[in-house]
């Protein structure tokens, strides 16, 4: 989950709560990438109906139900062991003919949840969790089915600004919804997002329930996995984000092969962007870097000599522009490696730049059981 408290809220677009009425081995491509679909007579717009119909057949509704104990007050009336279901809804994309489905990790919820997948033909199947990578907000589940129709993979690195895309999913539990838009930005990296992955930004309507759904180009290829929106209201405002297909496919293959993703870590450290006032006090020419916000005494970063309010400027030979870049560099570093971290600290005598060597340990996995 992304931190709250920024001027406009970043909202995960899946895991739409339905508990109350007011809550809102690596795979080979199963099919060859199709040729571009025909255009309208004047050539201005693609004919999108064939693309949409195919994308709908590859899209699923995912529901996860958790049984929780009721409020202690009501236990007096219903008994100490009384529980009530809490159901959340999201979307997913079929990625293999034999039942692998790609979605967001926040859609499937806790591993103890009961997860069900509803296909486009209304078949409802129980799903098993294959693996989860919370850092990229991706998960793979498996249903017992064959002869499914996956979408072909597209190359997200070849996307261009203003290219037509379709977002397919189940917003607000309205299944098999298709919305049209363009690619607004091909690689959105922003301090307000502070996440591992850079994103495809699109103005195709994405709303709660769309998470885990497909972002499809005008050739009918899967180019992204819809994951969140940036909104002041919690609903569509034309700023949606999708995990690029190239990232999603790499993570998916590793989850299917190994069941997990090994990530590097320098401890349970959180960061904040560097604002202009901090840059001025530290004598930095620009507001760049990652300011350490919080850390623990048993963190490798603390043991190496880093402290809260230090601003990290470089890791090895990489200049740090913002916290998300630092998170990606550390997470991708091999476990057991040593990172050379250059930082600046404000002391009584003024700013002081220094360098420390920080060992990379394995990121603690999420507390899940499959």
What residues are annotated to the active site? 106, 137, 211
Q: Do residues 202 and 183 lie in contact, with contact meaning Cβ atoms separated by under 8 Å?
A: yes
Q: Can you tell me the distance from the alpha carbon of 295 to that of 277, in angstroms, rounded to the nearest whole number? A: 22
- 59: three-class secondary structure by DSSP: strand
Q: Do residues 112 and 370 lie in contact, with contact meaning Cβ atoms separated by under 8 Å?
A: no
Q: Can you tell me the distance from the alpha carbon of 151 to that of 157, in angstroms, rounded to the nearest whole number? A: 18
**Closest C-alpha to 171, from 236, 266, 76, 96:** 236
Compute the C-alpha angle 115/139/327, nearest 5°. Answer: 140
Q: Do residues 229 and 239 lie in contact, with contact meaning Cβ atoms separated by under 8 Å?
A: yes
Return the CA Rg of the chain.
22
Give whole-number Cα distances, 191 to 21, 172, 285, in Å: 34, 29, 18
Q: Return the residue matching tokens 């930095």.
A: 284
For residue 145, give both structure tokens: 């089915």
Q: Can you tell me the distance from the alpha carbon of 133 to that of 102, in angstroms, rounded to the nearest whole number? A: 11
- Show the DSSP H helices in 259-321 as ranges: 276-282, 300-304
For residue 113, give both structure tokens: 């949840």
CA atoms within 13 A on the CB side of 204: 34
Q: Can you tell me the distance from the alpha carbon of 54 to that of 32, in angstroms, rounded to the nearest whole number? A: 14
């Amino acid at each position: 989950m992304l931190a709250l408290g920024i001027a406009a809220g970043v909202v995960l677009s899946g895991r739409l709560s339905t508990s109350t009425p007011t809550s809102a081995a690596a795979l080979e491509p199963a099919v060859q990438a199709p040729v571009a679909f025909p255009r309208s007579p004047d050539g201005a717009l693609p004919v999108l109906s064939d693309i949409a119909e195919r994308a709908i057949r590859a899209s699923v509704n995912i529901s996860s139900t958790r049984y929780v104990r009721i409020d202690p007050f009501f236990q007096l009336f219903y008994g100490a062991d009384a529980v009530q279901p809490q159901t959340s809804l999201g979307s997913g994309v079929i990625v293999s003919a034999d039942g692998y489905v790609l979605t967001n990790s926040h859609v499937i919820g806790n591993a103890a949840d009961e997860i069900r997948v509803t296909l486009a033909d209304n078949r409802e199947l129980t799903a098993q969790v294959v693996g989860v990578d919370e850092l990229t907000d991706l998960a793979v589940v498996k249903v017992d089915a064959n002869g499914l129709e996956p979408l072909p993979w597209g190359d997200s690195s070849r996307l261009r600004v203003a290219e037509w895309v379709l977002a397919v999913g189940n917003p607000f539990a309205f299944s098999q919804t298709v919305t049209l838009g363009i690619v607004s930005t091909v690689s959105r990296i922003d301090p307000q997002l502070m996440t591992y992955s850079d994103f495809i930004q699109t103005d195709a309507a994405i709303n709660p329930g769309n998470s885990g759904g497909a972002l499809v180009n005008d050739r009918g290829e899967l180019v992204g996995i819809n994951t969140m929106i940036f909104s002041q209201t919690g609903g569509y405002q034309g700023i949606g984000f999708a995990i690029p297909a190239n990232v999603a496919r790499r993570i998916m293959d590793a989850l299917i092969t190994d069941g997990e993703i090994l990530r590097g870590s320098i401890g349970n450290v959180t960061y904040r962007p560097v604002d202009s006032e901090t840059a001025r006090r530290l004598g930095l020419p620009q507001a760049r870097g990652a300011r350490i916000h919080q850390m623990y005494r048993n963190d490798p970063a603390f043991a190496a000599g880093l402290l809260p309010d230090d601003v990290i400027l470089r890791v090895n030979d990489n200049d740090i522009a913002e916290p998300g870049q630092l998170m990606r560099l550390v997470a991708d570093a091999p476990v057991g490696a040593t990172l050379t971290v250059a930082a600046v600290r404000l002391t009584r005598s003024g700013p002081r730049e220094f360098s420390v060597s920080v060992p990379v340990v394995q990121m603690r996995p999420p507390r899940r059981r499959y």
